[in-house]
Amino acid sequence: MTGIELSDAFVLFGASGDLAAKKIFSALARLESSESLPPKLIGIAKSGWSQDQFRQRIQESLKASSPGTGSPAAESLCRRFDYIDGDYRDAETFHALADHLQNVRAPLFYLAIPPSLFGTVADALHQHKLTRRARLIVEKPFGHDLQSAIALNRLLHSVVPEERLFRIDHYLGKDPVLNLIYFRFANSFLEPIWNNHYVESIQVTMSENFGVTDRGAFYDEVGTIRDVVQNHLLHTLSILTMDPPINASAESNRDEKTKILKAILPISPTSLIRGQYAGYLKEPGVHPHSSTETYAALRTTIETWRWSGVPILIRAGKNLRVSATEILVRFKHPPVSITSEPFPPGSNYLRFRLGPDRVEIGLGARAKRPGPAMVGQPLELLVMRNQRNEEDPYELLLGDAIRGDQGLFTSQEAVEAAWQIVDPILNQTTPVYEYPVGSMGPHEADSLADLPGGWHDPCGKENGGPGPKGFS
């Protein structure tokens, strides 16, 4: 981090929005308690609020979203936060901002606003000469498809260069995901077997036991593939399968993840199963004849020397049986059994549970049952198990952005590579199969998992071990 300039102002566009109230203010309060915030803090929104009303909003947000936030930090944050009430399309708003930033060298602008306003705000900042040394944070989604992602990147790069652009995806700052990175490269015993000679298949599942709730109108425009597959799950897969970075720099880390994303074959319609939970069409805000998927299962491969030929299965859905994000890496079984008992498929695996109820790393093995007969039994050795008690990742990510560390932020190349993978299936009129609420998706998805052991069941047993194969 030597030689990287700290941001000396934090400017929050969208200061009256839900994201600010639910996530950003509590993260800023924790950063304030550790004296990690810049000296100048400014919120901007068109709400008709006064300075006092804005500070009252911060206090109310902190009480609701982070009851444990220390009062001294909360009071300090409220006291230091200035407020500009104005329209993002009004030049006077940016004149006022320029007055606030007269003695600031390197501001950090956070666009916690709808993507449709990114261009408006970014262009106004540039026109008012506020971006010369500035950093810019933008929230996902980073485009709606490959073409829009390329256009968005071109627009943002006309204002700030890539090294000062921070695409924030809170999922990449979650502690279980960071633990996946650490476990992957802190244990030398993995490297000899982490390849297509020993790995039989990889599965990534994000299952949610709730529906679209009050986000029907938004979700109906997005769907599961755009909402979580293109970003969260593909980037998690890249962490799991990337080669070791050449050093600890953010650039090396991001380069290796991008190489994997570029090596994942684009999804074909024949390798995709889409589903929709029963009752989705009656959700508020959902079009009565919508074909938007609430479930997606897909199969692909990573065409590198390390992974070529290993089936990759990715699945995500709403209103399923359980809320769990889990990765299963199945190893090939021994070629010859040493007893008359054949070794069952799927006995050896690594299982990563990334939440939301607990964080686990489990190693699947077999051992002999007690007694004279050479008969085995499955075991899972828990490497770690933690009940979830995780701080919101925004504190980590905002602190990194203030320091100029891009390691946990998504690069332009990675964004476009991920869209390249799913772009062929975004506008395809593939069937959408209805599935019961509380199931694990449509049974048609079983056709993608014609592998030893079939789909892994993240519902698991009470001790956290893997459950029976397949879904109903």
Which positions ≥6 away from 42 have C-beta within 8 Å? 9, 10, 11, 12, 81, 82, 83, 84, 97, 100, 101
Total residue count of the chain as it appears in this document:
472
Contact present, 420 and 146 (Cβ < 8 Å):
yes
What's the half-sphere exposure (Cβ side, CA atoms, 13 Å) at 338? 8
Among the listed residues 170, 197, 232, 287, the single catalytic one is 232
Contact present, 392 and 26 (Cβ < 8 Å):
yes
| Nearest by Cα to 238 from 186, 202, 291, 193 | 202
Question: How many other CB atoms are there within 10 angstroms of residue 233's CB atom?
Answer: 24
Question: How many other CB atoms are there within 10 angstroms of residue 247's CB atom?
Answer: 8
Distance between CA atoms of residues 289 and 310, nearest Å: 38
User: Looking up tokens 């329209």, which residue turns up?
Assistant: 87
Residue 237 tokens, joined: 């897969």
User: Alpha-carbon Rg of the chain, whole angstroms?
Assistant: 24
Helix (H) or strand (E) holding 435: strand 432-435
Examine the residue annotation and report whether 100 is marked as an active-site residue of this protein.
Answer: no
The vertex-84 CA angle with 111 and 56, nearest 5°, equals 95
CA distances from 109 to 48, 136, 165 (A): 21, 5, 10
Distance between CA atoms of residues 313 and 324, nearest Å: 16
Distance between CA atoms of residues 114 and 14, nearest Å: 9
Which positions ≥6 away from 243 have C-beta within 8 Å? 256, 259, 306
End-to-end CA distance of the chain: 51
Contact present, 13 and 122 (Cβ < 8 Å):
no
The catalytic site residues sit at: 232
